[in-house]
Copies of this chain bind each other. A is one copy, B any other.
């Protein structure tokens, strides 16, 4: 067997891993988009579909891990190739977690559905999801092209998602203060909003991993601040609900 032949099998293995990551990314995106659609339109059947799809990502992650480890053991790659495989494992874990967040949102659809959701709130959630999904889509494109500069840009864009999340957080508190009957559904919506906000963090983690795969080091500079809603304090009802 010529060495070119061995190299080409190895390339095939790396391509296989990349393809599986792209597939996982597509499934995760779809699950998140569907979960938010199910939430906003109180669609229990769609929510159930999302919940049942979680196993696809669990299996994909396990298969990627197994393939990655077999590849390392057989090919004993050095430097860049080893980083490539290690990065793949890490990205698969991030995407599996994005699917979990979609599933968790879907699981709350029934608890939210009883109360009709105010239009403004639904728009806020949709907007948050749009931004998070855009970030996820971009990072998957960067994965396909391995553009280091773009990977850095994505990492710096989490602030916008955080600002919208914090404003949704405040809005949900206001609804809860206006009417105690809103408390239970809005609590579930708070967790849904948090799930969506977390997707941005996972996209950022993936961007950092791509940067590492290409360069062998972590991106420099402060990582964007996480969730500023942790310090939201509303003194009383009148102040909060204006």
A residues at B contact (CB < 8 Å):
62, 65, 69, 72-73, 76, 78-79, 82-83, 86, 89-90, 93, 104, 107-108, 110-111, 114, 173, 176-177, 180-181, 183-184, 187-188, 190-191, 194, 218, 226-227, 230-234, 236-237, 240
Contacts and interface: CB of A to CB of B under 8 A. Distances in A.
18 contacts: A62-B218, A69-B82, A72-B82, A90-B93, A104-B226, A108-B231, A110-B233, A111-B230, A111-B231, A111-B232, A111-B233, A114-B233, A176-B176, A176-B187, A181-B236, A181-B237, A183-B234, A190-B191
Can you list the 5 inter-chain pairs with the closest CB atoms, starting with the nearest? A107-B230, A76-B76, A177-B180, A180-B237, A184-B234
A83 B69 contact: yes
Nearest to A230: B107
Contacts of A183: 173, 176-177, 183, 234
A216 to B, nearest CB: 9
B233 A184 contact: yes
Binding site secondary structure of chain A: helix
Q: How many copies altogether? A: 2
A107 B231 contact: yes
